[in-house]
Chains A and B, each alone.
Chain A
């Protein structure tokens, strides 16, 4: 119904253009300009072909643009999901303690989600710059290291030593310095994800 209504409106617009042209031709006399009352059949044919090409090209390009827009929006929203995982992990780690499994699994989720996005982007034929991929990879590697890496140290050596990161009963505890380092890396990651969204949008 909505489609029919839109077609009627479009037809009405075209008709009004023809009517407008007819009225203008009736009442306005343009000097030194004469319209021939006869027309060559080859001219009619070339006019029809030109009009058909114009409509075809416009329709094809419009459809392609619309398809690309939808694909880009979907991919950008998937990057947004990664942003949410990162934000939630940042909040958790900022409290100074986090379950070891939660930290490592969130990093894995981010990595696998990014890999899946890269594959989808390749399928859509608009590649992401290698530079940004490398920056994100490096950032995630650093973040994983900062979140989960504990030093090689025996239990005896551990007593009385102040470490930036400690694990007890599978819960990681960070000191203030380590929390600040983690915050910086999360901020970098968020900026890179935004950069990735902009990069995808520009393709």
Chain B
């Protein structure tokens, strides 16, 4: 089965910005709404594995990633287990981002259970 690829630097911006749209350009909220949510929800519906490539940008603020990935669970109510099952993350330039994103997803999931 063909994997869905999401390369942030190419499909959104090489200079990711703050958390919310009202805070400035290329926010995590905008990325989630325009790119991440449509692709991830499609992947979950069609049971297709997807890869998010974090390389090639100028660097990420913590809030951008938290809003993008945590927001999938917090705002769009997507299934944490399904995301973890189908998602792979690529970050050769900053390997610690993979742990960070997994942590944001887990925190949002834990928060949603309360």
Contact = CB atoms under 8 A, between A and B. Distances in A.
Interface string B17-29: 1111011110000
Contacts of B57: 108
A171 B94 CA distance: 23
B93 A144 contact: no
B67 to A, nearest CB: 8
B74 interface: yes
A100 B18 contact: yes
Interface string A171-193: 11000000000000000000000
Interface stretch (B2-10, B41-49, B58-66, B79-87): B58-66
Interface residues of B, number: 26
Contacts of A109: 59
A103 B74 CA distance: 26
Nearest to B95: A115
Contacts of A112: 93-94
Interface centre among A101, A103, A169, A172 (most CB of B within 10 A): A101
A137 interface: yes
Interface string A77-112: 000000000000000000000001101111111011
Interface in A135-161: 137, 141, 144-145, 147-150, 152, 155
Nearest to A140: B96
A168 B17 CA distance: 11
23 contacts: A100-B18, A101-B58, A104-B16, A105-B58, A105-B59, A107-B59, A108-B58, A108-B93, A111-B94, A111-B96, A112-B94, A141-B96, A141-B100, A148-B64, A149-B61, A150-B63, A152-B67, A152-B70, A152-B74, A167-B19, A167-B20, A170-B17, A172-B18
Interface of A: 100-101, 103-109, 111-112, 137, 141, 144-145, 147-150, 152, 155, 167-172
